[in-house]
Amino acid sequence: MGVYHIVGGKKLNGQLRIGGGKNAILPILASVILNGGISVIHNCPKISDTYVSIEMLKALGCGVNFEGDTLTVDSSKASTHEAPENLVREMRSSFIFLGGILAKFGKAKISYPGGCELGARPIDLHLMALRKLGATITEDHGFILCEANKLVGAEIHLDFPSVGATENVMLTAVFAEGATVISNAAREPEIEDLQKFLNSMGAKVTGAGTSHVVIKGVKKLHDAEHSVMPDRIVAGTFLTAAAITGGKIRLTAIEPEHLRPITSKLKEAGCSVRFEKNSVYLEAPPVIRPITILKTGPHPGFPTDMQAQLTALLTKANGVSMICETVFESRNRHIPELVRMGADITLSHSGSTSVIRGVERLKGAVVESKDLRGGAALILAGLAAEGSTTVRNSSHVERGYENIEKSLTDLGATITLVKDEDGVL
C-alpha cells in the first residue's frame, strides 16, 4: 500500500526522457520462451507489471537478469506449461502468456483472467482464434487448458480489433504449419514492436500496424536483441500534466507518429504542440478550451488509456465537453473521485458517456485510485488543485509508471509517495 501526497498549484516546467512501453514489453516477455535461448531486451520500464512478468518467466523455468534497463532472459531451461494462478490474478494481461506457452510446449494451463477493474474482460476472441489454429480448449474450475498436437496456420477474422487477441495469435502461430492470416487485427504500435521482436528471433511476421497480419510458421527461432518502443501513454500523461498545470514540457525519446491521436486532442484543448525528430514540446494555453466530443477507439483512434487523463484536464476547461468511452465498460471509476475534488461531471446511465462542465478551480481532497489510468488522472487533478490531495492505492499507478513522483518532482511539482508496509494508510 502507498499513497501519493500532492500539493497543487505548481506549473510543470522542464524536460523528461520517456522510457519503454508497458504494453510493448508485456507481449515481448510472453514471447521470449519461444527461442529456447537468450533474449536481450533494452529500454525495459521498471514498473510492477514488468516485475510480475519476470516472476512468471522464472516460474516457467527461465533465468532472468535485470541490470540498468536491460533484461536478459535465458529460456533454454523453460520446462513447465502451467502459469501460476497468483501471477495471472495479479496482472490480468498475463493472459498473453497463453499463446507463447502453447506454441512452446503444445499445451498451456492458465487461470481464467475473470473480471477486472475495467469491467468484464472477455476472452472469446482469444479462444476462438486458438481453436482455429488447432488447439483443443477445456475450461475447468477457473482454469483454461489448451492442447494441440499440431498447430496449423488458419485465416482468423477478429470481430473487434483486440490488442491481446492479435498478440496471442501472433505468438501461437509462430511455429504453426503454413501461414496464419489475421484480418481486422489491432493496429496499435505495440503490435509492430512485437512483430519486430519476433522477427529478430527469426519469425516471419508481416503487416503489423495494419489490419492484416500474416505469420508464416517457422521450425525454430534463435537468440535475439531488441529495444522496447517508447511508452506513448506515459508520454501522453506527462503532456496532459503540463497542460493541466499551465506549464511547458519537452519529452525526449518519443515516437511522434504514436502520439498524434493524443496531441491532436491536446491541441483542440488549446495547447501548442511542436514535434522535433524524437521529441515533443507542449505549452499550455492560459485557459483550457472544452472539447465538444472525444470518443475513444482502437488505434489510430483516441486511446482509451488516455481517457481518464483527458477527463481530468477538461474539468478545468472554460466550457462543456463530452467524452464517450467505447472500448471498455466501467472505465469511469475516477469520475466520482474527481467530483470529490470539485469537478462538475455527469455520467450517463450506461456509465460510458460523461459530460464535463469546466470549473474554475479543483480543490484538494482524499481520493482513491481504482485503476492504473484513473489513478494517473487523479494525480494530474491533484497537481492542478488548490491545497493538498492524497491519492490512495498507489499500486495501480506503479503498474504502469516508473517513479512518477520523481519525474514530476524533477519537473517542479510537489508530490511524494509514502509507502506503508503495515497497510495503515
List residues with catalytic annotation: 116
Q: Please select the residue that binds ligand UD1; options are 12, 228, 327, 345, rule is CB under 6 A.
A: 327
Note whether 81 binds ligand UD1 by CB under 6 A: no
Contact set for ligand UD1, span 124-143 (CB under 6 A): 124-126
* Residue nearer to ligand UD1 on the CB measure, 305 or 337: 305
149-178: contacts with ligand UD1 (CB under 6 A)? 160, 162-165
- Which one of residues 93, 180, 311, 407 is an interface residue with ligand UD1 (CB under 6 A)? 93
Does residue 305 touch ligand UD1 according to CB under 6 A?
yes
CB of 118 to ligand UD1, least distance (A): 7
363 bridge partner residues: 386
| Number of amino acids touching ligand UD1 (CB under 6 A) | 20
CA separation for the pair 312, 335 (Å, rounded): 9
CA angle 267, 416, 254 (to 5 degrees): 35
Taking the least distance from each CB to ligand UD1, the nearer of 8 and 298 is 298
* 105 contacts 98 by C-beta, under 8 angstroms: no
Minimum distance of ligand UD1 from residue 209's CB (angstroms): 14
Contacts of 115-119 with CB under 8 Å at 24 or more apart are: 116/92, 117/330, 117/333, 117/370, 117/371, 117/396, 118/328, 118/329, 118/330, 118/331, 118/371, 119/328, 119/329, 119/330, 119/331
Q: Whose grid coordinates read 495501480?
A: 396
Angle at 418 between CA 93 and CA 387, to 5 degrees: 105
Sign of torsion over alpha carbons 89, 91, 96, 101: negative
Which CB atom, from 105 or from 328, has the smaller least distance to ligand UD1?
Answer: 328
In this structure, which amino acid lies at residue 411? L
- Give me the residue label for grid cell 481532497: 365
By CB under 6 A, what part of segment 27-66 binds ligand UD1? Answer: none
**CB environment 381-412: b (16+ within 10 A), e (fewer):** bbbbbeeebbbbbbebbbbbbbebbebbeebe
Residue list 15-34, contact with ligand UD1 (CB under 6 A): 23, 26
Nearer to ligand UD1, 23 or 389 (CB): 23
d(CA 421, CA 363): 29
- Residues numbered 179-198 forming contacts with ligand UD1, rule: CB under 6 A: 186, 190
Looking up cell 464535463, which residue turns up?
356
Q: How far is CA 168 from CA 48, 103, 125, 148, 285, in A?
A: 22, 10, 10, 15, 42
Minimal distance in Å, beta carbon 53 to ligand UD1? 10
Q: Which is nearer to ligand UD1, 123 or 312 (CB)?
A: 123
Give the integer Cα–Cα distance in Å for 64 and 53.
Answer: 11
For ligand UD1, give the closer residue by CB, 18 or 288.
Answer: 18
Least Å distance, CB 117 to ligand UD1, is 11
What is the nearest approach in angstroms of ligand UD1 to the Cβ of residue 355? Answer: 22
Shortest Å distance, C-beta 116 to ligand UD1: 9
Among 123, 151, 170, 308, binds ligand UD1 (CB under 6 A): 123
Q: Which residue is nearest to ligand UD1 (CB)?
A: 164
Binding site for ligand UD1 (CB under 6 A): 23, 26, 93, 121-126, 160, 162-165, 186, 190, 304-305, 327-328
